[in-house]
């Protein structure tokens, strides 16, 4: 069965897009057939993957087709898929997608449109990774409803724990409202980590200590100019600077996730603080509340 995971955090600039592309590329390098879905009207993933930004069918075309015909389009035949590299395909975005949020509001089963659009294509992929915009709006609800797991990139800095609590609250509501009762949190990735600041270390420790048991910490990626350069070059970090710390960190995280998802045997070396176990969003929300208090006290 195809694993669908979304990369979400309503806070802007937490490395969601960079993480989606890097993990997608790392999983493709490990033999998986990966579809990346750019669900952000900013189209950063589309740009970072080197796909054209204008004049091509996109995920908006696909969603609009479903809304007009009550039927999923053929993504490949409709020219909506962009090959990125061996095993890695992108369903791109464009600024038009900003309109979709409004158009979805009046749709029947409006939270399930993305899920319906992706369903016929799933046989062609082992893994689908959805890059979410920095919000908790209807597009993100569609991603959380389509996905089986959520990956949360967190920059360990002031109010990170508070932002995490908001997201976990949304995930809890999606499960309670039965939109997607089986939704799980794959784990947290610390991103843009700068171990030179005591504050960053303190926030990471708070989050690790309070929720690390329920939401696995999948790993950490240090702040590095190489990640930004790779995005500007339109190439995944794993190809742009394959031996860099960032590429190696994403490779390790990909190994852990593929083992968690049963897409590959477990890696020989342990990854960060472990990847096993399903997280309970409600317990996590309570735990992050404690972390928020701690982080604020540290601030």
Binding site for Mg ion (CB under 5 A): 16-17, 44
- Which alpha helices (DSSP H) does 222-280 contain, by range? 225-233, 237-240, 245-260
Please name which of 128, 132, 136 lies closest in space to residue 35, comparing C-alpha atoms. 128
> Is 64 or 246 the residue whose CB approaches ligand ATP more closely?
246
C-alpha–C-alpha distance, residues 267 and 264, integer Å: 8
**Is 246 near ligand ATP (CB under 6 A)?**
yes
Q: In this chain, which stretch among 14-22, 31-39, 121-129, 165-173 interacts with ligand ATP, using CB under 6 A? A: 14-22
- Helix, strand, coil shares of the chain, percent, nearest 5, are 45, 15, 40
CB of 265 to Mg ion, least distance (A): 32
Residue choice 2, 32, 44, 244 for contact with ligand ATP (CB under 6 A): 44
Residues in region 174-193 near ligand ATP by CB under 6 A: 191-192
CB of 57 to ligand ATP, least distance (A): 22
Residue 15, helix vs strand vs coil = coil
- Considering CB distances under 5 to 8 angstroms, the limit depending on partner class, which of ligand ATP, Mg ion, none binds residue 238? none
**Is 224 near ligand ATP (CB under 6 A)?**
yes
**Is 17 near ligand ATP (CB under 6 A)?**
yes
CB of 96 to ligand ATP, least distance (A): 17
Residue 272 backbone class (left: φ over 0; alpha: ψ -120 to 50; beta: rest): left
**Is 12 near ligand ATP (CB under 6 A)?**
yes
**Is 94 near ligand ATP (CB under 6 A)?**
no
CB of 152 to ligand ATP, least distance (A): 11
User: Checking DSSP bridges between strand 149-154 and strand 184-193, what pairing results, if any?
Assistant: parallel
Beta strands across the sheet bearing 34-38: 82-85, 88-91, 34-38, 127-131, 3-7, 149-154, 184-193, 217-222
Beta carbons of 221 and 229 less than 8 angstroms apart: no
Nearest residue to the partner Mg ion, using Cβ: 17
- Considering CB distances under 5 to 8 angstroms, the limit depending on partner class, which of Mg ion, ligand ATP, none binds residue 15? ligand ATP
């Amino acid at each position: 069965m195809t694993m669908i995971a979304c990369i979400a955090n309503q806070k802007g600039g937490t490395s969601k897009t960079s993480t989606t592309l890097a993990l997608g590329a790392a999983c493709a390098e490990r033999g998986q057939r990966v579809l990346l879905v750019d669900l952000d009207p900013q189209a950063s993933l589309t740009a970072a993957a080197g796909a054209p930004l204008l004049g091509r069918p996109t995920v908006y075309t696909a969603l609009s087709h479903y809304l007009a015909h009550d039927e999923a389009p053929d993504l490949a035949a409709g020219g909506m898929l962009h090959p990125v590299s061996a095993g890695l395909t992108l369903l791109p975005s464009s600024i038009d997608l900003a309109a979709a949020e409004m158009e979805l509001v009046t749709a029947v089963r409006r939270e399930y449109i993305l899920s319906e659009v992706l369903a016929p294509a799933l046989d062609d992929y082992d893994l689908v990774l959805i890059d979410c915009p920095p919000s908790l709006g209807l597009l993100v609800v569609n991603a959380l409803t389509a996905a089986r797991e959520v990956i949360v990139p967190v920059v360990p800095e002031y109010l990170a724990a508070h932002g995490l609590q908001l997201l976990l609250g949304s995930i809890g509501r999606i499960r309670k409202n039965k939109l997607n009762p089986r939704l799980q949190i794959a784990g947290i990735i610390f991103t843009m980590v700068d171990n030179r600041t005591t504050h960053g270390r303190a926030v990471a420790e708070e989050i690790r200590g309070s929720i690390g048991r329920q939401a696995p910490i999948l790993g950490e990626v240090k702040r590095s100019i190489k990640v930004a350069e790779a995005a500007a070059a339109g190439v995944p970090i794993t190809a742009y600077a394959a031996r860099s710390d960032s590429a190696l960190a994403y490779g390790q995280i990909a190994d852990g996730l593929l083992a968690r998802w049963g897409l590959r045997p477990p890696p020989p070396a342990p990854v960060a603080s472990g990847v096993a176990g399903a997280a309970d969003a409600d317990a996590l929300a309570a735990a992050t509340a404690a972390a928020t208090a701690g982080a604020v006290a540290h601030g």
